[in-house]
Amino acid sequence: MDRTPPSAKVFDVSKYVLDAGVPRAVVNKVSFEIPAQNFTALLGPSGSGKSTLISVLAGIERVDGGIVEIGEKNIVQMTDDEIVELRKNELGVIFESDNLLPSLTIEQNLRLPSSFSKRDIDEKQFAQVVRAFGLSEYLQLIPYHAGRAIQQRTAIARAVLASARMLLCDDPVRGMARQSAQEILSLLRVCVREFGISVLITTEDPAAAAFADRVYLLSDGELIGRIDSPSLQSILLAMSSFGYGEE
């Protein structure tokens, strides 16, 4: 698992939707980058464009302007089939819902990517990931009986086992109890530190963003600030200076 993950770059990206027949920017000329082997957070209120940017980076949505690069690949110029291959081979996309197959056990869900790719799973790696994510005692449970925090752990661990070089996580701890959320965020740090994976999360929670190495602040589809080596205090101070929460 000694891989150098790609960085991602978003340059001057815009995305529009029709609002009563009139184009409205949900993302307006946004530029940022995700350094390799880095935990990055997009922080902003609902409607700030966070989820759209995750979808754009994953190639799920096409941009209306700008450049989106994963490593040296400009996905704006890629075909749909090429983007599917990119997601399969390099990206793990984690949503608020875990996208596990409910009829399969936790272990079967973890082994699913190797079944689809028709390659043998590295059992030593499998055991390492299961241990790192604290899943050993849950392997024979179906997701419903495991609880949401374990479901998210499983989804992230599955992406690691699928050799993802970058995890794109859309609000992965939304609505979780604080302790469960902290456990998931700590595991995302494990992905960076032990598995060399680049991680991007979106969140509305400053405490969640404080787990990151870098935080970008979003508001109304625009990038309005950046915080390196953030603390909760520095994030709250930046939010206050930009008038977050003010009418």
The percentage of the chain sitting over the pLDDT mark of 90, rounded to a whole number, equals 78
- What was the pLDDT predicted at 7? 84
- What was the pLDDT predicted at 190? 94
The answer to whether the Cα torsion of 94, 36, 228, 11 is positive or negative is negative
Whole-Å CA distances, 45 to 12, 37, 49, 59, 222? 21, 26, 9, 23, 12
Lowest mean pLDDT among 51-60, 88-97, 122-131, 184-193: 88-97
pLDDT tens column, 16-69 = 998 888 889 999 999 999 999 999 999 999 999 999 999 999 999 999 999 999
| Size (the chain), residues | 247
Distance CA 243, CA 206 (A): 14
- What was the pLDDT predicted at 4? 52
Average pLDDT over every residue of 179-201? 95
- pLDDT at 228 exceeding the cut of 70: yes
DSSP string, the chain: ----PPPEEEEEEEEEEEETTEEEEEEEEEEEEE-TT-EEEEE--TTSSHHHHHHHHTTSS--SEEEEEETTEEGGGS-HHHHHHHHHHHEEEE-SS----TTS-HHHHHHHHHHHHT----HHHHHHHHHHTT-GGGTTS-HHHH-HHHHHHHHHHHHHHTT-SEEEEESTTTT--HHHHHHHHHHHHHHHHHH--EEEEEES-HHHHTTSSEEEEEETTEEEEEEES--HHHHHHHHHHTTTT--
- pLDDT at 6 exceeding the cut of 80: no
What is the CA 212 to chain-centroid distance, rounded? 12
- pLDDT at 177 exceeding the cut of 50: yes
Distance CA 200, CA 42 (A): 7
Lowest mean pLDDT among 113-127, 146-160, 203-217: 113-127
Average pLDDT over every residue of 220-228? 95
Average pLDDT over every residue of 111-127? 81
- pLDDT at 186 exceeding the cut of 70: yes
- pLDDT at 246 exceeding the cut of 60: no
- pLDDT at 210 exceeding the cut of 70: yes
Note whether 188 and 133 are within 8 A (CB): no
Whole-Å CA distances, 220 to 27, 47, 115, 227? 8, 7, 42, 18
Per-residue pLDDT band for 245 (boundaries 50, 70, 90) equals low
- What was the pLDDT predicted at 247? 44
Per-residue pLDDT band for 199 (boundaries 50, 70, 90) equals very high
Average pLDDT over every residue of 76-94? 92
The percentage of the chain sitting over the pLDDT mark of 70, rounded to a whole number, equals 94
For all residues of the chain together, what is the average pLDDT? 91
Domains along the sequence of the chain with CATH: 36-63+78-242 (3.40.50.300)
- What was the pLDDT predicted at 20? 86
Strand partners, 32: 10
Q: Is the pTM of this model over 0.85?
A: yes
Average pLDDT over every residue of 149-153? 93
